Amino acid sequence: MSFAMNVIEGLVIAFVFFLGLLALFLLALFIIDRTQTHDAIRRNYPVIGRFRHLFSELGEFFRQYFFAMDREELPFNRAQRAWVNRAADGESNTVAFGSTRNLNVVGTPIFVNAAFPPLDDQFAKTEPMVIGAGARIPYIAQSFFNVSGMSYGAISKPAVQALSRGAKEAGIWLNTGEGGMSPFHLEGGCDLVFQIGTAKYGVRDEDGNLSDAKLREAAAHESVRMFEVKLAQGAKPGKGGILPGDKVTAEIAAIRGLRIGQDGISPNRHREVDDFGDLLDLIGHIREVTGKPVGIKTVFGSPEPFRELFALINERGADSAPDFITIDGGEGGTGAAPMPLIDLVGVSIREGLPVVANLRDEAGLKERIRLIASGKLINPGDVAWALAAGADFVTSARGFMFSLGCIQALKCNKNTCPTGITTHNPRFQKGLVVEDKYKRVAHYAKGIIKEVETIAHSVGVAEPRLMRRRHVRIMQDTGISVPMNEILPSYASPEN
């Protein structure tokens, strides 16, 4: 009996001691909150005012998992992410009981089914397409769907390794992003597009200028099939790349030519390019030095710059043209960008792509310049729409991030990505197992290609690049859809 009383007495003392510590802790918080001058809520409501910040931080996660409907969340909703996850797992993407998509939303694309679609033995695989036929070493691209630019630095070593191996498995290309080419891009053996950003990481000299010697060194790798001169990207047109210093490890610093921990801030444009004449000169120089196709990446803002570019190309001759143009939409993504640019600058790919395709065709450059579409195109319907609108290829970055396991935690710029994709913290990188994730990358790419082929067959053509704008209807605010070729007629033929 006395033992039980001693135990109870001990528990009471421990509880009282705990309450005393808690009271001291709360008192300390009260004093800190009342005396600090930074946060008015905490100053006026000590201790309990802290819950406002906590709930604000947790709000996006509660909405993601408990409150948002399947089609409500931004930038990508649960239905979009779920499709990618099923495809990446190699699972069936069939669903039951009808679509959860509201087909009456203005701008929704609806594909026009054919009365007599091709039979199984009348289907055709998409033919490879040549890019840069006039280059010394043209590129024969096997797939219409490929990996968009994600630099080593913005994403982690295991993420690059998984993308490289997965791209090889799927027979698609991988864009290095503007951070230069790392050994991890090469180790998978996939085709690479070497992106040259405004800071020229990986191909610059000690003064930050373009180095012909390093261009030749990069081009000497058989895996490097093309070079892409980045002028702008969708999430931040008019602003150079931003790599927070927390992500600049010794290895990344060596590849980029930075100091460890130094912010990697790229200029907002190439310093030696003041006009389109300079741009064509730069493209021609890189193509001459490397012998490989060279293109540009930019964002549509208005038709005039593209008219000026195409007119100058025709004046100089088609040989002066970029071998491809990647059009990124204003809805494009990135790991770090100012909110005004993410929200307010750059036209959507839905508007920009058809206009640029028309301007290119009007200039008679359809066979000379390949058009690549990018910007929030992660599901089969998005890719099929882009091909019908005039793209020759489609690239995606965030779709492949989802295939790696991204949960849209929105921590890309903080080096605390919980899935190990956009962090260089070894603790978080352990969660990204390359042996598993590269298979998901390949499954996702193959799943997109298969489903886009299914849409193409449904509209009555043998393969995806045969889709035209007449095969897509766009929902209007009247509740009635209108064929895309009536809204945005193709230059080649309004009936297309």
What is the CATH number for 374?
3.20.20.70
In this predicted structure, the answer to whether residue 276 has a pLDDT above a threshold of 80 is yes
pLDDT for 66-92, tens place per residue?
Answer: 555 555 555 666 677 777 778 887 877
* Residue 202 sits in the same domain as residue 292: yes
More confident residue, 255 or 20: 20
What does the pLDDT read at residue 210? Answer: 93
Query: Could you give the CA distance from residue 477 to residue 475 in angstroms, rounded to a whole number?
Result: 7
Q: Which of 102-116, 346-360, 382-396 has the highest mean pLDDT?
A: 382-396
Number of H helices, E strands in the chain: 17, 15
* Residue 199 sits in the same domain as residue 57: no
In this predicted structure, the answer to whether residue 133 has a pLDDT above a threshold of 60 is yes
* Residue 59 sits in the same domain as residue 161: no
Rounded to 5 degrees, what are φ and ψ at 145?
-120, 125
> What one-letter code names the amino acid at 163?
L
* Residue 276 sits in the same domain as residue 417: yes
Q: Which of 23, 39, 67 is the last residue of a domain?
A: 67
In this predicted structure, the answer to whether residue 58 has a pLDDT above a threshold of 70 is no
The total domain count for the chain is 2
Longest dimension (CA), the chain: 104
Query: Could you give the CA distance from residue 287 to residue 132 in angstroms, rounded to a whole number?
Result: 10
According to DSSP, the residues that pair with 210 across neighbouring strands are 204
Question: What is the token pair recorded at 347?
Answer: 């036209």
- Closest-CA residue to 400 (of 374, 430, 372): 374
Q: Are 80 and 379 in contact (CB under 8 A)?
A: yes
pLDDT for 312-325, tens place per residue?
Answer: 999 999 999 999 99
Q: Are 368 and 320 in contact (CB under 8 A)?
A: no
- Residue 102 in any domain: the answer is no
pTM: 0.84
Count how many Cα atoms sit within 13 Å of the Cα of residue 169 in the half-sphere of its side chain: 19
* Residue 24 sits in the same domain as residue 125: no
According to DSSP, the residues that pair with 297 across neighbouring strands are 230, 326
What does the pLDDT read at residue 249? Answer: 81
Angstrom CA distances, 421 to 156, 195, 303, stand at 6, 20, 36
- The DSSP string of 126-153 is PPPEEE-TTSSS-EEE--SEEE----BT
* Residue 177 sits in the same domain as residue 251: yes
- Residue 335 in any domain: the answer is yes
In this predicted structure, the answer to whether residue 65 has a pLDDT above a threshold of 70 is no
- Residue 75 in any domain: the answer is no
pLDDT for 172-220, tens place per residue?
Answer: 999 999 888 999 999 999 999 999 999 899 898 888 889 999 999 999 9
Rounded to 10 deg, the angle between the 157-170 and 434-459 helix axes is: 40
- Closest-CA residue to 144 (of 163, 164, 124): 124
- Residue 33 in any domain: the answer is yes
Report which DSSP code applies to 182: -
- Residue 36 in any domain: the answer is yes
What does the pLDDT read at residue 219? Answer: 96
Query: Could you give the CA distance from residue 431 to residue 418 in angstroms, rounded to a whole number?
Result: 8
Q: Are 229 and 286 in contact (CB under 8 A)?
A: yes
- Residue 89 in any domain: the answer is no
pLDDT class of 395 with cuts at 50, 70, 90: very high
* Residue 63 sits in the same domain as residue 129: no
Q: State the chain's mean pLDDT as an integer.
A: 86
- Residue 86 in any domain: the answer is no
Question: What is the token pair recorded at 14?
Answer: 């421990």
Percentage of residues in the chain with pLDDT exceeding 90?
Answer: 50
pLDDT class of 265 with cuts at 50, 70, 90: confident
What does the pLDDT read at residue 281? Answer: 97
* Residue 56 sits in the same domain as residue 164: no
* Residue 147 sits in the same domain as residue 63: no
> What one-letter code names the amino acid at 262?
Q
Q: Quote the domain boundaries for residue 30.
A: 2-67
What does the pLDDT read at residue 261? Answer: 83
* Average pLDDT value for residue range 293-302: 94
Angstrom CA distances, 302 to 177, 237, 350, 372, stand at 25, 13, 13, 18
- Residue 92 in any domain: the answer is no
Q: Are 455 and 371 in contact (CB under 8 A)?
A: no
> What one-letter code names the amino acid at 47?
V
* Residue 58 sits in the same domain as residue 143: no
Which 3-state string (H, E, C) describes 88-109?
HCCCCCCCCCCCCCCCCCCCCE
Residues 6+ apart with CB under 8 A from 257: 201, 204, 206, 208
pLDDT class of 274 with cuts at 50, 70, 90: very high
* Residue 306 sits in the same domain as residue 403: yes
In this predicted structure, the answer to whether residue 129 has a pLDDT above a threshold of 90 is yes
* Residue 11 sits in the same domain as residue 128: no
End-to-end distance of the chain based on CA atoms, in angstroms? 94
Report which DSSP code applies to 235: T
270-275 contacts, C-beta under 8 A, 24 or more apart: 270/198, 270/229, 270/231, 271/198, 272/209, 272/210
More confident residue, 124 or 179: 179
What does the pLDDT read at residue 303? Answer: 93
In this predicted structure, the answer to whether residue 382 has a pLDDT above a threshold of 90 is yes
pLDDT class of 143 with cuts at 50, 70, 90: very high
Q: Are 396 and 87 in contact (CB under 8 A)?
A: no
Q: Are 453 and 143 in contact (CB under 8 A)?
A: no
What does the pLDDT read at residue 440? Answer: 92
What does the pLDDT read at residue 495? Answer: 67
Report which DSSP code applies to 204: B
Give the lowest-confidence range in 67-76, 248-257, 366-375, 464-473.
Answer: 67-76
Query: Could you give the CA distance from residue 26 to residue 47 in angstroms, rounded to a whole number?
Result: 7
According to DSSP, the residues that pair with 225 across neighbouring strands are none
